[in-house]
A and B are shown apart, each in its own frame.
Chain A
């Protein structure tokens, strides 16, 4: 059975690149849904709960940190693994903050399909 994924990123370019890279990992996907910010992501989760969420950190309206806080405080959502995507891959502060909030991993941009696959195996 294929996986269902939610991508939360304000950049259409990144959502497209992430989708393209997901299809290179060798996993099968039943659905890949998209949201443009944290609030849209939360709205989507009211209708459908994916197997995994990929979420950007820097977004307008509701950013990835706030989105992760909302998830971790909701009993029905906090078990969904979330991989946070950041341009600040080397920043220990950001990694520590999202780890403390329960993220399943961080993915620094630019990234390869192998790196995404490795995080998938760990998270799912």
Chain B
């Protein structure tokens, strides 16, 4: 449905065209990360032929750095502007995933992005297929995640 390469290309395209910053992909994780500390996660829900999500998980420093590059500003804290930038990143990624699934003749809708900040555990679809890829930018690593669970009609 969504391959590691497709997720890497979608992420790199956003950084190349919208931020003009390079981002390096690492091999996908073999064990899913569910516990986050001092992290900003932006999440977009998927519905239709699949239940699922697209998520971006950044440590606070990386979140401030990515938002700074998006907005050409510097941020001392994770404020609403930083959260908005991370939401937009997840939103664009979800759009790419949706386009990809639509081209495979699946029906998929995406939600408005939401953001979580702090220390938390995130287990949304325990039976879902998942892909979690670490990416490297100058300020550190962040994770991009896709979870897809069929609803029986796909």
A residues apposed to B, CB below 8 Å: 11-14, 16-17, 20, 58, 60, 86-91, 108-112
Contacts and interface: CB of A to CB of B under 8 A. Distances in A.
A112 B17 contact: yes
Contact of B103 (A16, A90, A108): A90
B13 interface: yes
Interface stretch (B92-100, B114-122, B128-136): B92-100
B71 A16 contact: yes
B84 A87 contact: no
Dominant secondary structure of chain A at its interface with chain B: loop
Interface size class for chain B? 20 to 34
Interface of B: 13-14, 17-18, 67, 70-72, 81, 84-85, 87-88, 91-92, 94-95, 98-99, 102-103, 110, 112
Contact of B17 (A11, A13, A16, A111): A111
Contacts of A20: 72
Contacts of B92: 87, 109-110
Contacts of B98: 87-88, 90-91
B112 A13 contact: no
B14 to A, nearest CB: 5
A58 B95 CA distance: 12
B84 A13 contact: yes
Contacts of B18: 17, 109-111
Nearest to A86: B95
Contacts of A58: 112
Given A13-B84, A16-B71, A17-B70, A87 B17 contact: no
A89 B17 CA distance: 15
A11 B88 contact: yes
A13 B95 CA distance: 16
A47 B70 CA distance: 30
B70 A16 contact: yes
Nearest to A59: B112
